[in-house]
Amino acid sequence: MNWDIIEGNWKQVKGKFKEQWGKLTDDDFDAIEGRRDQLTGKIQERYGVTRDDAEKQVKEWQGKAKDDWFH
């Protein structure tokens, strides 16, 4: 799925992110506001992984994103 779609539907997709990355807080998600680089940074910070690992997790999650999440 294109990241622009995810970013444009941030409020609808936040729940899916919470399922994947439960350590991220509502304040984290408010600060991220759909920005991929911010999400990657927060994953890195909360989970103690490298930037590359965080980016890989986001990329894998993005590949699993489905259009029906936004209906």
pLDDT tens profile 17-65: 899 999 999 999 999 999 999 999 999 999 999 999 999 999 999 888 8
Nearest CA among 10, 62, 2, 4 for reference residue 31: 10
70 has pLDDT over 70: no
Q: In this structure, what token pair is assigned to residue 67?
A: 């259009």
Residue 8 · residue 30 · CB < 8 Å: no
pTM here?
0.84
**CB under 8 A, 24+ apart: contacts of 8-11:** 8/34, 9/69, 9/70, 10/34
